[in-house]
Amino acid sequence: MKRESGFTLFEIIISLVILGIMAAVAGMGIVTGVKGYVFTRENAHLSQKSNLAMQRITREFLEIIDIDPNNVTASSLVYRNSRGWAAIASVNQTIKMRNGTSLPDAATGDILVDNVAAFALSYVKDDGSGNEVAWVAGTDDVVLLAAIEFNLTISRTDPGGGTISFSTAINPRNTGNAGGVAVDTLKFSPWF
């Protein structure tokens, strides 16, 4: 009798099952790696965009000389610095800036940052005994303005979603308030 060589049907099926399991594990590894890359890329983009906005707002508020008392709200401000009058405002999920004494709107102004979930400004003065109290536009002189605090929350655009929040306090140095310091704090909340 002649002996034939080759694989049995059972051996071929077992080989295909093992190959399928290995391909599934490799595929899950590739998918996990791609998700990690996308998450890291989105974080880098969001950090860069947020950092640019925070630095620009900080620089603008640091150089404030005067504030228009008729245009001070929790989400907008018209101010004067060494370059003239300028305005910043939250408009349609963006932060916009423009030169001049009018606030930016949907048609005017330059977008500083987009995907804004929240933007809040608060104005602080020292009550004379070392306590911080609200500075009131139109009532308090700009010399009494000790700090402008702002909170910025940006929505993530990746599939994981969520938001990232930044906050800082800027002490304007050109308002005549001798107690001002350049930048007080910068805080952010993690997005993961």
Higher pLDDT, 20 or 47: 20
What pTM, to 2 d.p., does this model score? 0.72
Per-residue pLDDT, 177: 60
Q: Does residue 19 sit in helix, strand or coil?
A: helix
Residue 109 backbone zone (phi > 0: left; psi -120 to 50: alpha; other: beta): left
Beta bridge partners of 123: 148
Q: What is the pLDDT of residues 104-156, one digit of tens each?
A: 988 899 999 999 999 999 999 988 888 889 999 888 888 888 999 999 999 88
In this model, does residue 188 exceed pLDDT 60? no
In this model, does residue 186 exceed pLDDT 70? no
The domain segmentation of the chain, as residue ranges, is 9-188
Please count the other Cβ atoms lying within 10 Å of the Cβ belonging to residue 192.
Answer: 8
Per-residue pLDDT, 77: 93
